[in-house]
Amino acid sequence: MDSSNLKCGISESISEPTGPVPAPCNIAHDAEFCCRFTHRLRFTGDVFAAGNETLSNILNEATSDCSNVAIFIDANVARTRTNQANKINDYFKKYLPENSPKIHVVPGGEQIKNQQQNFKQILDAIEQSHLCRKSFVIAIGGGAVLDAVGFAASITHRGLRLIRIATTTLSQADSAMAVKNGINAFGKKNYMGVFSTPWAIINDEATLKTLAMPHWLAGFSEAIKVALLKDPLLFEYIYRNCGGIRARNLDVSVPVIRRSARLHFDHITLNGDPFETEDARPLDFGHWSAHKLEQMSGFEISHGQAVAIGIAIDATYANFMGWLGDADHRRILECLDGTGFRLYHRSMQHANTLLGGLDEFQEHLGGRLTIPSISRIGHAFDIFEIDTNQMLAAISYLERFNKWGNHNESTST
């Protein structure tokens, strides 16, 4: 062995004796390693009902001497399910008497992600609950609450155990399945956040009955999106049953939410890039414009509604570029419209501002611009640049489509 190399290696751990300065050397160590995660998803109804052991079984899977639990409830859930806190306390007394949950009600909707004071209050509540790293934080609500509470949990003690109890179609169909947490900042969607795998996800389907109509519809835009990318049979089912979905027929609608959840869940666990280290985000069809529209409207447009518009924009652009046939393009717009989504909002009059969403999307993702598109229903591919004139034409087309359908854009939420 070369004595100079030996000397370089030894000098890492043994201080050099006084004397001549050693010759410079370069040392590099590279090692790949993997971490194992378990992604748990449960479908149930009325998770805190007597006799429902879904949550207690999940909590009992953990081996821990630390029994503290903090629970955060979306204010929208607390308002529609007025006895929720009592049910939670009764549930823990019966199934988990060693646990004493601290229950906090937090603002629902995007405001919890927009106002950092709300986020600080979550952090304060966690700190005052004296949770250790083996404790549980349970977030009950829609996607925004799950995001904000999840972010707070993930940065406390470098990560508490988070259980998401999803209560909306949007969170159950999509957002709760992800390993992402975050809040909005600097006028940008999800600017602050981390990747962190939750301990478990529970879709409480009993809560879907209490949703206001805009919140009911929201998750079905994500279901249509993932169907367009991955599952033509799901799209066909939604297309044929969009009237039943709009009428809130649970027998028709719940299978759509479950299938969408499973497709998103499988993407996280099987796609090989759950923490989005690559250039592409394969499930973000329609999202570059959706995120920008939410901001431009002052969050008057919900995420689900914005995604529906984003899907319509990207599908129309694919049609104008010659990738997507006329028949599929027409069926996509008919499906979105028939389900109850508006495909235009007055913010789209500022089309050049909307196009700025492409730069923000690229910055958020990192690397080169990579956007999913479709060549036919159920078949996706990536594009890496945008023909601005054609995209502007697609946006303009949807304004005309809105007028043809006699839609009242002021009701868009």
The Cα 109–Cα 303 span in angstroms is 10
- Check pLDDT > 60 for residue 89: yes
The Cα 390–Cα 313 span in angstroms is 11
Q: Are 160 and 19 contacting, i.e. CB atoms less than 8 angstroms apart? A: no
| Sequence ranges of the chain with CATH classification 3.40.50.1970 | 41-210
- Check pLDDT > 90 for residue 146: yes
Q: What is the mean pLDDT of the segment spanning 157-181?
A: 95
Angle of CA points 220, 226, 232, to nearest 5°? 100
How much is the pLDDT for 7? 53
Burial of 50 (C-beta count, 10 Å sphere; 0-12/13-18/19+): exposed
Best CA proximity match to 314, nearest among 372, 252, 257: 372
Q: Are 256 and 245 contacting, i.e. CB atoms less than 8 angstroms apart? A: yes
Sorting pLDDT into bands at 50, 70 and 90, what band is 374? Answer: very high
Sorting pLDDT into bands at 50, 70 and 90, what band is 196? Answer: very high
Burial of 383 (C-beta count, 10 Å sphere; 0-12/13-18/19+): middle
The Cα 313–Cα 334 span in angstroms is 13
Phi-psi region of 188 (alpha: psi -120 to 50; beta: other; left: phi over 0): beta
Encode pLDDT of 315-347 as tens digits: 999 999 999 999 999 999 999 999 999 999 999
Sorting pLDDT into bands at 50, 70 and 90, what band is 65? Answer: low
| Sequence ranges of the chain with CATH classification 1.20.1090.10 | 269-411
How much is the pLDDT for 17? 58
Domain 269-411 has CATH 1.10.1060.10: no
- Check pLDDT > 90 for residue 360: no
Tell me how far CA of residue 248 lies from CA of 151, 173, 223, 241, 252, in angstroms.
Answer: 32, 15, 15, 11, 8
HEC letters along 309-349: HHHHHHHHHHHHCCCCCHHHHHHHHHHHHHHCCCCCCHHHH
Sorting pLDDT into bands at 50, 70 and 90, what band is 68? Answer: confident
How much is the pLDDT for 413? 40
The Cα 318–Cα 153 span in angstroms is 40
- Which CATH code for domain 41-210? 3.40.50.1970
Best CA proximity match to 189, nearest among 388, 363, 385: 363
How much is the pLDDT for 167? 96
Q: Are 321 and 387 contacting, i.e. CB atoms less than 8 angstroms apart? A: yes
Return all residues near 404 (Cβ < 8 A) that are at least 6 apart.
none
pTM: 0.87
Tell me how far CA of residue 205 lies from CA of 141, 144, 173, 232, 309, in angstroms.
Answer: 12, 18, 11, 25, 26
Encode pLDDT of 232-266 as tens digits: 999 999 999 999 999 999 999 999 999 999 999 99
Owner of token pair 């998103």: 264
How much is the pLDDT for 277? 78
Best CA proximity match to 166, nearest among 221, 219, 204, 111: 204
Q: What is the mean pLDDT of the segment spanning 79-107?
A: 89
